[in-house]
Chain A
Amino acid sequence: MTSGAETEAVAAEPTPPQRVLPTAVVALLVAVLCALAAALALWSLHRMLEPPAAVDALLVALAVVALLPLVPAVRAFGDDRRRARHLAAGRLAPARHQAASGREHAHTAMGYALAVLICAGLVWFTTANDGAITTTFLRWEFLRSSFANVLDAFWINVEVAVGAQLLVLVVGLVVAVMRLLPGRAGRPLRWLAIAYVDTFRAIPSIITLYLVGFGLKLAQVPVFKDLSPVWLAIIALTLTYSSYVAEVYRAGIESIHPSQWAAARSLGLSYGMTLRTVIVPQAVRRIVPPLLNDFIGLQKDTALIGVMGVTDAFAQSRLTASNVFNLTPVIVVAVLFVLITIPQARYVDRLLAKEQTRTGRS
């Protein structure tokens, strides 16, 4: 009974709204300071580029964007005024509403202002030392002159990546299944699978590439000695990445609840058939994101195949870069890698979203 009475007492007197003014003042200060920093950075960019009017207009537009966080900061003050009016009139609930809205505006102003500050910092960094950074990494004329060469060589990276990815999908699954074989009969194969994964996950891929690229030819290993360097690169990366992907598969397969095994086996499906029709299809759906992670790693490691004498995009760009004494061609390769990675990430996002709508999970 006492507690009930207390609750009523509390309910009769709503808590007054919190103060907004201090937060609003801080937000306004932050917004102004960040806008100033942005203005300075843009000014230094303007001085460095001495650009045509069109680009100058763009810089002005950016400066205006940098001022935008001021808008919510000012609104926070308006909210604070209305809060005070409501409070004076004894309307507690509307006063609280205004206070909340004011704080939200102040926080928004600070969030956007800090983002502006970070961008301004980046601009300042690229213009530092009178733009030496920019001229080292980004020179329009070198970008134009090296682009065709680097892009041509980049197809070798794509070829190696796709070839290795297809092989890895198969080899990784075989190794994972070997590692999960049951019983005494499966023991030696389990051990081999573990030994393989332990070894090739530990060896840096650049070393595997080097050994496979030169060793197999040097030792005159039949079949392998006649393979093109591109194929040897594919084999080396398959060796390295199958060990990662085998572990991904294994985790996926082990994450399927044992009751799925029991249900499938109780229907008379054999071990292999259960694996193939019930377990692996469910596991594959779960491992798509980590699998993509490893695939992106593999793609990036194709930049290492230069060590075995293949002229890939990175090797080509270094060649060009040392000719012109400028790193722009290397930036071109970096951008190409980014460009091929982003669509894959979005594609997986879409696959997952589709899967979720199909199974009705949210």
Chain B
Amino acid sequence: MTFLEIHDVHKNYGEHEVLRGVSLEVAKHEVVCLIGASGSGKSTLLRCINALEPIRSGEIRVAGDVVSGLGVDVNRLRRNVGMVFQSYNLFPHMSVLRNVTLAPVRVGGRSRAEAEEKALALLDRVGMKDKAGAYPDALSGGQQQRVAIVRALASDPQVLLLDEITAALDPELVGDVLAIVRELAQDGLTMLLATHEMGFAREVASQVCFLHEGRILERGTPAQIFEDPQEDRTRQFLGRVLASGRL
């Protein structure tokens, strides 16, 4: 059953057309990887799904409900759609625990005690429980990103959007973060990832989409995309990635 439905979405920043008619269906428990060069529209697509960016035309549905356009309760939508950013974006003036409990307490209506209990359990899962009282500045990039994932999960989202979450990390820290995402995929969380980690995409994705100049140029299983790409552009892109040793 289709859980997330994106239909012919167009988006521009001023004159520049970033998305030129993107359509995509994501079923529950699916992990979809968006690959493509910088500027191909991966991040913008994720931000549109979360209504962080308004779209010009088209339609986005989450769990059957239209979430694009006017009159949508974006705050409600965002509780169902979690997002993790490339640069972590933790709140520097709050401890790790407060970062994680902010939304459940302020928006989710949970009691502080309940929210903290859950936050600690989640932090424990990613090996960050002993840092609950620390401030983000005192953490490494990998640790901050793990907290950011927990912060997004604390609101029990039904789908998680991950925007190049390892792109800003030192190479030796990437593994820790990817391990968490892998675990979430195994647990059946629906996820959309924009990523440059082709090896990882091949491993966890149920669907891979190759974006080029604001369109999904090619789409298929990891095996189809990585082993038998049909489009020249896809082949060129994967060839360049291969040459840089990232595949």
Contacts and interface: CB of A to CB of B under 8 A. Distances in A.
Nearest to B154: A267
A239 B100 CA distance: 40
A281 B93 CA distance: 8
Contacts, number: 69
A242 B225 CA distance: 61
B168 to A, nearest CB: 12
A278 B137 CA distance: 16
A260 B89 contact: yes
Contact of A269 (B47, B90, B102): B102
A269 B76 CA distance: 9
Interface in A228-281: 259-260, 262-270, 273, 277-278, 281
Contact of B151 (A267, A277, A359, A360): A267
B91 A285 contact: no
A361 interface: yes
B39 interface: no
A13 to B, nearest CB: 44
B91 A278 contact: yes
Contact of B91 (A264, A265, A270, A273): A264
A267 B85 contact: no
Nearest to B51: A265
Residue of A264, A267, A282 contacting most chain B CB atoms (<10 Å): A267
A184 interface: no
B150 to A, nearest CB: 12
B52 A266 contact: yes
Interface in A303-325: none
Interface string B89-133: 111110000000011001110000000000000000000000000
Measured as residues with beta carbon below 8 angstroms from the partner, the interface class of chain B is 20 to 34
A260 B92 CA distance: 9
B110 to A, nearest CB: 13
Contacts of A267: 78-79, 82, 102-103, 107, 151-152, 155
B75 interface: yes
Given A268-B103, A273-B106, A281-B93, A358 B79 contact: no
Contacts of B52: 262, 265-266
A282 B92 contact: yes
Interface string B196-217: 0000000000000000000000
A259 B86 CA distance: 10
A76 to B, nearest CB: 46
Nearest to B107: A268
7 contacts: A262-B47, A266-B52, A269-B102, A270-B75, A281-B93, A282-B91, A358-B135
5 residue pairs, one from A and one from B, having the closest CB atoms = A263-B89, A267-B103, A266-B83, A268-B78, A268-B79
